[in-house]
């Protein structure tokens, strides 16, 4: 693991995770297009038309090399900081960005077979499972506090919001509305589950993952076109000595984004233009929103949160006083170098500007 500094300087922490070459890539003789000089840096070959390669260098908070474990992501990505902030009443978001097959779902939830037999000690468990365990550890350290946890799990497919805990709504997508009272966007009639213990949170994760694939012939194909958002809201009440209660509400969103490659493949693979435009737009708008976040000062310029459902629903953590963690997932293979470069550029923009 090439580590530079773990705490975010601003409100956004950008890390990169490079997955190992997969068997198919190894068999076909695909070479590595990335190198790890250390210090939060990554080199990626730029393959030019004449076939020669010049490496381009990028720099982030942390770069996770292919041998990084799921536990390494919990320990060194900065997610623990987000969880602690969420308990303190901030709105936080962790999201995985990258092309289909780059390891977004693996990083967040681990391989799907996990949900068939939940071995609590499996090395494969993803960041969400590990974050839940860590969350309960943090809650236990707050002795004179009462906590209520609520979970919801939704998916945005072609700008339609589908409740993953109440899949009957798939036929009738939910509306996103603006609340004058909270001055925020919310999903009308979204199913919310109160969770008392770790098992309750895990059941939500499991149920949502199962519903995500219902009625889809090709899970990978489907998930490459949809964004999923798992939200844990943490409400705390602390009794002060004078009998007054202090109440706080924070939350953490775990977001598995649609594949970042979607637009360019549109024509060649016959995907509908509308679908591709929607995905492209939400990822683009997300990029703008994050860029303005990473500015630190939030220059007060117009941020187009309202331009996509995804950014509407994340607005209170992107625009508010929470922190955001971006995990850019990339393939190390030469055959994917162009998409890897696109992801590294997107992530670098989020970090700088
Ligand atoms: P995405 O969600 O970005 O489309 P996946 O998470 O489904 O990608 O990963 C694609 C494939 O690569 C899966 O078979 C997954 O198990 C494997 N994979 C991804 N990241 C890793 C990793 N860090 N270690 C081992 N296998 C991985
Ligand atoms: Mg996926």
Q: What is the pLDDT of residues 164-186, one digit of tens each?
A: 998 776 668 899 999 998 888 99
Contact 238, 246 (CB under 8 A): yes
* Whole-angstrom distance, CA of residue 104 vs CA of residue 97: 7
Q: Closest ligand 1 atom, CA of 66?
A: 23
Identify the pLDDT of residue 8. Answer: 46
Identify the pLDDT of residue 111. Answer: 78
Whole-number Å distance, alpha carbon 271 to ligand 1 midpoint, is: 23
* Whole-angstrom distance, CA of residue 88 vs CA of residue 67: 33
Identify the pLDDT of residue 30. Answer: 92
- In the predicted model, residues of the chain with pLDDT beneath 70 are 1-10, 52, 112-120, 169-171, 213-221, 262-276, 293-301, 320-321, 352-353
Q: Which residue of 106, 114, 228, 255 sits with most ligand 1 atoms within 8 Å of its CB, as the best mutation to test the pocket?
A: 106
Ligand 1: residues within 6 Å at CB?
19-20, 22, 98, 100-106, 111, 329
Q: Which residues pair with residue 255 across a beta bridge?
A: 95, 229
pLDDT tens-digit map of 142-166: 988 999 999 999 999 888 999 999 8
Identify the pLDDT of residue 271. Answer: 55
State the pTM of this model. Answer: 0.91
Identify the pLDDT of residue 176. Answer: 96
Whole-number Å distance, alpha carbon 302 to ligand 2 midpoint, is: 32
Identify the pLDDT of residue 299. Answer: 54
ipTM of the complex: 0.99
* Whole-angstrom distance, CA of residue 296 vs CA of residue 213: 38
Ligand nearest to the CA of 332: 1
Identify the pLDDT of residue 266. Answer: 44
Identify the pLDDT of residue 10. Answer: 63
Task: Report the Cα–Cα distance between both ends of the chain, in Å, rounded.
Answer: 26
Identify the pLDDT of residue 353. Answer: 41
């Amino acid at each position: 693991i090439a580590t530079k500094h773990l705490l975010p300087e601003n409100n956004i922490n950008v890390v990169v995770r490079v997955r190992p070459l997969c068997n198919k890539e190894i068999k076909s003789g695909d070479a590595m297009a990335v190198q790890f000089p250390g210090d939060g840096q990554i080199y990626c070959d730029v393959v030019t038309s004449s076939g020669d390669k010049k490496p381009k260098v990028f720099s982030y908070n942390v770069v996770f090399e292919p041998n990084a474990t799921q536990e390494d992501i919990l320990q060194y990505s900065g997610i623990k900081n987000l969880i602690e902030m969420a308990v303190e009443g901030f709105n936080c978001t962790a999201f995985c960005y990258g092309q289909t097959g780059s390891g977004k779902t693996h990083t967040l939830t681990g391989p799907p077979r996990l949900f068939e037999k939940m071995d609590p000690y499996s090395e494969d468990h993803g960041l969400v499972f590990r974050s839940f365990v860590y969350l309960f550890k943090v809650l236990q350290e707050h002795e004179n506090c009462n906590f209520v946890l609520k979970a919801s799990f939704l998916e945005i497919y072609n700008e339609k919001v589908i409740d993953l805990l109440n899949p009957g709504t798939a036929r009738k997508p939910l509306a996103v509305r603006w609340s004058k009272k909270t001055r925020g966007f919310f999903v009308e009639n979204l199913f919310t589950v109160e969770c008392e213990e770790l098992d309750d949170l895990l059941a939500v994760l499991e149920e949502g993952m199962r519903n995500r694939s219902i009625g889809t012939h090709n899970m990978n194909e489907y998930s490459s076109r949809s964004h999923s958002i798992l939200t844990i809201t943490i409400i705390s009440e602390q009794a002060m000595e004078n009998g007054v209660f202090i109440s706080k509400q924070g939350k953490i969103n775990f977001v598995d984004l649609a594949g970042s490659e979607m637009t360019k493949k549109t024509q060649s693979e016959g995907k509908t233009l509308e679908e591709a435009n929607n995905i492209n737009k939400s990822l683009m708008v997300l990029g703008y929103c994050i860029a303005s976040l990473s500015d630190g000062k939030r220059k007060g310029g117009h941020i187009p949160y309202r331009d996509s459902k995804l950014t509407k629903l994340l607005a209170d953590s992107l625009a508010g006083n929470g922190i955001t963690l971006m995990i850019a997932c990339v393939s190390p293979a030469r055959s994917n170098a162009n998409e890897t470069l696109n992801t590294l550029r997107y992530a670098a923009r989020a970090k700088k500007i």
